[in-house]
Amino acid sequence: MNRRKFIQSTTAAAASALAAPGITQAAGAVPLGKAEHCVMLWLGGGMAQIDTFDPKAVGDAKAKKAGSYYSAIETSVPGVEVCEHLSKTAKQMEHITAVRSLHHDVVDEHAAAANRMHTGRPTSGTVTYPSLGSIIAHKRGAAAEGVPAYVLLGYPNIARGPGFLGPEAGFIYSTDIGSGPAGLARPKWLASDRISRREELLAAVRDGGAKRFAGDKKFSDYDTALKESLRLSGPDFMDVFNLDAESADLRNAYGSDFGQRCLLTRRLFQAGVRFVEVSYGDNFKNGTGWDTHNDGQLNQHLLIQDLDSAMSTMITDLDSHGLLDKTVILINSEFGRPGNFDSGGGRGHQSKVFTNVIAGGGLNHKGAWGASNEISEEIADKPVSVPDYFATALAAMQIDPTENLYDGDRPVPITDLGKPIAELF
């Protein structure tokens, strides 16, 4: 028997076994959720879990005594505390689960850790894996006609991209929410008759290209992308970016530029976008952003207060529009920080235990899941791998986390063998 026949026969046998009555229940399969949208709030740099969603006894940076930098406060979930600068979010923890036992093995390299926390996998020299946003875009598509499935509010890079899924699972992006997505916003001085003439000329070029390059996949893919960009640059989709249509009170409640991106996210979901990543843009408000080495620790509370206003208002706003149970909210960062302070009074990197957050999505929230030790430097209970975290988000989005994707004809597990946190469903 050659290798191909062997693989075919064993695959068929495995499929038959899985189809046997009762095997799903025996394997403890998690039922899928009912969410329709997902937003990832990306805090590039490494959010300090011990200073946000996993507080411990207060330490002393000057004396190099390990511990939290801020005091803890009670939340709406008994027994669950958060940092004092998350006072608004604390009142909504029944809609939130802080996953306090997340871990991976990338600690010193921001780019590799960011790739891990976007794709759920180690960096590979042979395979470019798709991001979580691209997986969701690929599996679910847009929720309405005339909008993209995946929007990035921040700067593009390969970690956020579609990898082997190809450009159809990619994103459109905007670094300036006032002007809309890059390359789609039309100049205000360009009159409609000139736009029409340009589109007529472009149509003639496209028709000629279609005849000349008939059957050429590269041309076909390019032409499809061009058609999509023309549709998205029309007034219907671009009007979503007009935040002046919202009340001043709501815009003020969302707060900073980061908060305004979160407000825009709700409008994008209403239009039918499936996945949005919101990158924290005001990274140097405290001197270093969320990468709180040295002096970055001193004004870290400014970042946390931004997050607090945006997160709490988003939960209330989504709920008022009937979208909270339909929207999975993720607070994601490449790793965490140790309980000890570095020589400059800040914190280094730590990936052996850290906290990310999952909220909304109609899940059975716990306030917190898993635990770290007394200085948040070791896992004490219920470890959660990055693939487990991704599998939880995918299952909440009605995507079977045991499925395969395909890199050409090669099957690739949709996560790196992650298992959803069953108790949240």
CB of 274 closer than 8 Å to CB of 140: yes
pLDDT, mean of residues 135-146: 96
Q: Report how far residue 238's alpha carbon sits from residue 420's, in angstroms, rounded to the nearest whole number.
A: 36
For residue 34, pLDDT over 60 is answered with yes
pLDDT, mean of residues 127-142: 97
In terms of domains, do 212 and 284 share one? Answer: no
In terms of domains, do 302 and 358 share one? Answer: yes
Residue 402's φ and ψ, nearest 5 degrees, are -100, 0
Query: Does any domain span residue 400?
Result: yes
In terms of domains, do 334 and 275 share one? Answer: yes
Q: What is the CA radius of gyration of the chain?
A: 23
Domain count, the chain: 2
**What was the pLDDT predicted at 24?**
36
Closest to 226 in 3D by CA, of 156, 167, 159: 167
In terms of domains, do 170 and 215 share one? Answer: no
Q: What angle do CA 400, 112, 69 make, to 5 degrees?
A: 95
In terms of domains, do 249 and 358 share one? Answer: yes
**What was the pLDDT predicted at 181?**
79
pLDDT, mean of residues 325-346: 96
In terms of domains, do 94 and 111 share one? Answer: yes
What percent of the chain has pLDDT above 70?
A: 87
In terms of domains, do 147 and 52 share one? Answer: yes
CATH of the domain at 65: 3.40.720
**What was the pLDDT predicted at 356?**
98
Query: Does any domain span residue 14?
Result: no
Rounded to the nearest integer, the mean pLDDT of the chain is 90
For residue 19, pLDDT over 60 is answered with no
Domain that holds residue 227: 186-232
In terms of domains, do 216 and 258 share one? Answer: no
What are 122's two structure tokens?
A: 């180690």
Query: Does any domain span residue 6?
Result: no
Query: How many helices (H) does the chain have, and how many strands (E)?
Result: 12, 15
Q: What is the pLDDT of residues 67-124, one digit of tens each?
A: 999 999 999 999 999 999 999 999 999 999 999 999 999 998 999 999 999 999 999 8
In terms of domains, do 277 and 299 share one? Answer: yes
Instruction: Identify residue 248 by its one-letter amino acid code.
Output: A
Q: What is the pLDDT of residues 200-247, one digit of tens each?
A: 787 788 888 888 888 887 788 777 666 665 556 556 788 999 999 999
In terms of domains, do 130 and 192 share one? Answer: no
**What was the pLDDT predicted at 22?**
35
